[in-house]
Structure 1
Amino acid sequence: MGEEDLYRDIILDHFKNPRNKGAVADPDIKVTGANPFCGDEIEITLKIQNNRAETLGINAQGCAISQASTSMMSEALQGKQLNEIKDAIAFFRDQMLSQQTKDWPPQMEDLESLEGVKQYPVRVKCALLAWNTLAEGIKEFQAQGNQKVAARHVEGEQ
């Protein structure tokens, strides 16, 4: 099996069997995201305990890239400190938006399968939707003094 086939299998596995599917009860962060260009919609819920993502849940509809990226993100970030999550978001954004690539940390190795998306700039937005949405939710949560928050992110709006 070639590398391209392996990456396709990883993406399809996360698309067909999303990890951490479902909303978290009584979340501290509930954030929805949308990509109006291709119709992707996601919801991320997070229960925070001691500045750590104790439980992270996802619901996603849309293209395979968006749903797979959302699933991979939820798997890679479950149980991480908020500062670790923000660092991972910055790393993933950099990997997807730069022509230069760095070595992937072990907990993010599945995400390497999305590097081929960089050849299609419109699809990069699909891969980044969950990450940008979660970043917005964390930003709002921290701006509100770590109080429960509901936020919305629309890809392409800043």
Structure 2
Amino acid sequence: MSLDDLYRRVIMDHYQKPRNRGRIEDGAVTVDLNNPTCGDKISVQMRIEDGKIEEAKFIGEGCSISLASASMMTEAVKGLSVEKALQLVDRFSEMVQGEEIDPEEFPLEDIEALQGVAKFPARIKCATLAWKALEQGAKESADQD
């Protein structure tokens, strides 16, 4: 099995069996974004306590890249400080634009499967939609503190 095949399987697994799909009942920061280019719509919710993302969920509709990325993102940021999550957003954005990421500094795990998106510039917006929602929500939360 090639690395591309493995990455494709990881993406399809997150798309078909998304992690953290749903709503947070109360006390959540909610950000709704869409990508009019391809019709992706995402609503990201996070519960932030004491500067830490305690819970992250999403609902949405769209392509496999968009929804798999949202699933991976919610898994990756749970338990992180808002500051660390925002750093991860930056690293993810760099990765999908083709830059090398130091796995020692930022262990990406499943997220690494999305690095192939860099070969398809039109899909970068799909991959980063949920991450932009996370970034916006985290910054809004920090501004309120």
Q: TM-score range by the shorter chain?
A: over 0.9
Structure 1 stretches lacking a partner, 5+ long: 147-158
Counterpart in the other structure of 1:139: 139
Q: Which residue of 1 aligns with 2:35?
A: 35
Alignment partner of 2:129: what SS?
Answer: helix
The separation in 1 between residues aligned to 2:18 and 2:118, in whole angstroms, is 22
Gaps of 5+ in 2: none
Q: 1:52 maps to what in 2?
A: 52
Contact 2:91–2:101 (Cα < 8 Å) also in 1: no
Count of matched residue pairs: 143
Equivalence map 1:5-154=2 (5 Å) = 5-97=5-97, 99-104=98-103, 105-106=106-107, 108-143=108-143, 145-146=144-145
Structure 1 residue 25 displacement after superposition: 1.1
Query: Whole-Å Cα distance in 2 between the matches of residues 138 and 75 of structure 1?
Result: 16
What displacement does 1:90 show?
0.8
The alpha-carbon deviation at position 100 of structure 1 amounts to 3.0
What code does the residue aligned with 2:58 have? Answer: I
The TM-score, its normalising length taken from structure 1, stands at: 0.86
* 1:95-141 CA-partner distances (Å, limit 9, x unpaired): 112x33123333x2211111111111110110000111111111222
Letter aligned with residue 21 of structure 1: R
